[in-house]
Amino acid sequence: MASSPLLIYLDDKLVPESEAKVSVFDHGLLYGDGCFEGIRIYNGRVFRLTEHLVRLYESARSICLTIPISIEEMEKATVETVAANNLRDGYIRLVITRGVGSLGLNPYQCPKAGIIIIASGITLYPKEKYETGLNLITCATRRPPPAALSPQVKSLNYLNNIMAKIECIQAGCEEGIMLNEQGYVAECTGDNIFVIKGGQVYTPTIASGALNGITRQAVMDVMREMGLQVHEVTMTRHEVYTADECFLTGTAAEVIPAVQYDRRPIGDGKPGKLTAQIITKFKELANSSGTEVYSTRD
Ligand code: PMP
């Protein structure tokens, strides 16, 4: 993480962190009205930037939010922000808010969307958990049905996930599984979930209510290259209770093993061997691909 004050991209230019302020009338603040992306930088390259930006613009389109710049301009602004902060490894938070409006809900009274790009760092789980594995619970808080809000919209309203996260922390766990309305496994509070059984890999379908994670997609590519069979399924808790191995994926989380679920050990209760190989291959991919930030590599 950068230690000196950050330069933040705000609307159309870079400003010092101390000047990066948002109005109290911004609907992103008042209503969680907006969308965002979290993106990683590995080894001076932005990982799967195009995929993240496509998802951002699709989230915006889905909620009738017009981003005032093109996707190409957003790509340039993102790379410029990373370079201005001299980051080689880190995390980008790209936020689009509905912008300043009145105190009522009406988004059409917000004439211009706000753009915020923060290039810094993030630590989701304690470092040692990447070696020892996470403990999971089943969260009582369910994922909202797609008819309420599509899980594919990465909206600024994360209260549902935050309620679930509170349950995890109160139960003394780092993470939890969120079920959909029908009781099937959807995803974790901020990550996708995979289980391995008999050498085959399983993950909930997107229709189960999981965000189609960029890391999920990258890890599926990696696993197929490794010759593993990956199945997108309707998953119950039973599949997780009886799995040999389990791991979670997400931009902030990266790939992390899970070793306990509802206080029962997953497999032998230790991070799995295949999971370790998948993590190694994912790291290789992440460190060797992506959009170059610095033209002269050193
Ligand atoms: N599910 C949810 C609810 C998330 O917030 C995230 C993190 N963005 C993910 C899954 C993982 O998605 P990605 O790999 O694109 O970060």
Q: Based on the fold, state whether residues 182 and 254 are members of the same structural domain.
A: yes
> Residue 192 CA: which ligand 1 atom is closest?
10
Give the per-residue pLDDT at 1: 46
Q: Based on the fold, state whether residues 154 and 274 are members of the same structural domain.
A: yes
Give the per-residue pLDDT at 296: 60
Tell which one of 36, 194, 211, 220 to mutate to probe ligand 1, the residue whose CB is within 8 A of the most ligand atoms: 211
CA of 185 to the centre of ligand 1 (A): 15
Assigned domain for 294 exists: no
Give the per-residue pLDDT at 36: 98
Q: Based on the fold, state whether residues 169 and 114 are members of the same structural domain.
A: no
Give the per-residue pLDDT at 81: 98
Number of Cβ atoms within 10 Å of the Cβ of 197: 15
Pairing mode of beta strands 114-120, 90-97: antiparallel
Q: What's the average pLDDT block by block, 10 residues per block, for the chain (298 residues)? A: 82 97 98 98 97 98 98 98 97 98 97 98 94 98 95 97 98 97 98 98 97 98 97 98 98 98 98 98 95 76
Q: Based on the fold, state whether residues 149 and 276 are members of the same structural domain.
A: yes
CA of 37 to the centre of ligand 1 (A): 9
Q: Based on the fold, state whether residues 144 and 36 are members of the same structural domain.
A: no
Tokens 């603040």 — which residue?
29
Q: Based on the fold, state whether residues 96 and 149 are members of the same structural domain.
A: no
Assigned domain for 281 exists: yes
Q: Based on the fold, state whether residues 34 and 84 are members of the same structural domain.
A: yes
Assigned domain for 38 exists: yes
Q: Based on the fold, state whether residues 173 and 112 are members of the same structural domain.
A: no
Assigned domain for 145 exists: yes
Question: Final residue of a domain: which of 81, 96, 120?
Answer: 120
CA 127 distance to own-chain centroid? 18
Assigned domain for 1 exists: no
Assigned domain for 52 exists: yes
Q: Based on the fold, state whether residues 160 and 231 are members of the same structural domain.
A: yes
Cβ of 215 less than 6 Å from ligand 1: yes
User: How many angstroms separate the CA atoms of 196 and 118, rounded?
Assistant: 36
154 is an active site residue: yes
Give the per-residue pLDDT at 239: 98
CA of 210 to the centre of ligand 1 (A): 9
Question: Final residue of a domain: which of 58, 93, 120?
Answer: 120
User: How many angstroms separate the CA atoms of 107 and 103, rounded?
Assistant: 10
Tell which one of 156, 251, 256, 285 to mutate to probe ligand 1, the residue whose CB is within 8 A of the most ligand atoms: 251
Cβ of 38 less than 6 Å from ligand 1: yes
Q: Based on the fold, state whether residues 82 and 152 are members of the same structural domain.
A: no
Assigned domain for 61 exists: yes
Question: Final residue of a domain: which of 68, 99, 120?
Answer: 120
Q: At what angle do helices 49-62 and 214-225 cross, to 10 degrees?
A: 140
Q: Based on the fold, state whether residues 107 and 177 are members of the same structural domain.
A: no
CATH of the domain at 64: 3.30.470.10
Domain residues for 219? 129-286
Domain count, the chain: 2
Give the per-residue pLDDT at 2: 46
Reference 262, options 189, 164, 195, 172; nearest CA is: 172
Torsion on CA atoms 285, 288, 292, 298, rounded to nearest 10:
150
Torsion on CA atoms 72, 8, 38, 295, rounded to nearest 10:
50
Q: Based on the fold, state whether residues 268 and 199 are members of the same structural domain.
A: yes
User: How many angstroms separate the CA atoms of 16 and 5, rounded?
Assistant: 7
Tell which one of 52, 149, 192, 220 to mutate to probe ligand 1, the residue whose CB is within 8 A of the most ligand atoms: 192
CATH of the domain at 176: 3.20.10.10
Assigned domain for 295 exists: no
